[in-house]
């Protein structure tokens, strides 16, 4: 199997995996929303309580919601690789979108979600942190992937300049 064939196969696997992960992410986010809403009104009766429950469901699903765009970008990157399009500005942008989605999901897990839940429950009005291995891994993956995307963008610009010169 040639390197091109391996890359195309990897691209197809990445595309299917990206779409599968995207579907699972959406299903899991919908489950968070459904659980909060089905538990009934929160903090008030009637429509306001149901809106509160829906808002809490979105807070619960926030890291997953941040991942949606990144997983769609990953699937599109896999499709491009499957077509043999390896090195382009568009692919660098897709990689950057995936990295940024990981970083935002990490921010949601570590800071945004715990802070909002504390504010809503009235525990405190400060900033809360939930630092665990999963959040740190998301942050590290997001930072690394975003940095690699910027390096790929710069390399693509250099290649374009070089090709124009030659």
- Domain positions in the chain: 3-165
pLDDT at residue 88, rounded to an integer = 85
pLDDT at residue 1, rounded to an integer = 66
- 64, exposed or middle or buried, with CB in 10 Å at 0-12, 13-18, 19+? buried
State pLDDT tens for residues 25-53. 999 999 988 888 888 777 777 788 888 88
- 111, exposed or middle or buried, with CB in 10 Å at 0-12, 13-18, 19+? middle
Give the distance, in angstroms, between the CA of residue 108 and the centroid of all CA atoms in the same chain: 11
Per-block mean pLDDT, blocks of 10 residues, the chain (166 long): 82 92 92 86 78 86 92 93 86 93 94 87 79 91 93 83 74
Global pTM? 0.82
pLDDT at residue 139, rounded to an integer = 94
- 122, exposed or middle or buried, with CB in 10 Å at 0-12, 13-18, 19+? exposed
Q: Is 130 helix (H, G, I), strand (E, B) or coil?
A: coil
**Distant-in-sequence contacts of 40-49, Cβ < 8 A, 24+ apart:** none
pLDDT at residue 166, rounded to an integer = 64
**Burial 74-97, CB ≥16 within 10 A → b, else e:** bbbbbbbbbeeeeeeeebbbbbbb
pLDDT at residue 144, rounded to an integer = 95
């Amino acid at each position: 199997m040639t390197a091109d064939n391996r890359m195309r196969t990897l691209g197809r696997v990445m595309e299917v995996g990206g779409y599968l992960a995207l579907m699972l992410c959406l299903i899991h986010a919908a489950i968070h929303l459904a659980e909060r809403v089905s538990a009934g009104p929160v903090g008030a009766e009637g429509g306001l309580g149901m809106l509160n429950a829906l808002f809490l469901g979105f807070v619960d699903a926030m890291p997953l919601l941040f991942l949606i765009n990144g997983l769609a970008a990953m699937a599109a990157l896999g499709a491009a690789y499957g077509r043999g399009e390896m090195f382009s500005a568009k692919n660098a942008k897709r990689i950057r979108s995936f990295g940024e989605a990981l970083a935002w999901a990490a921010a949601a897990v570590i800071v945004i979600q715990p802070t909002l839940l504390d504010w809503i429950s009235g525990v405190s009005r400060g900033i809360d942190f939930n630092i665990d291995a999963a959040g740190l891994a998301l942050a590290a993956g997001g930072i690394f992937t975003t940095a690699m995307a910027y390096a790929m963008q710069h390399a693509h610009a250099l290649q374009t300049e070089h090709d124009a010169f030659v």
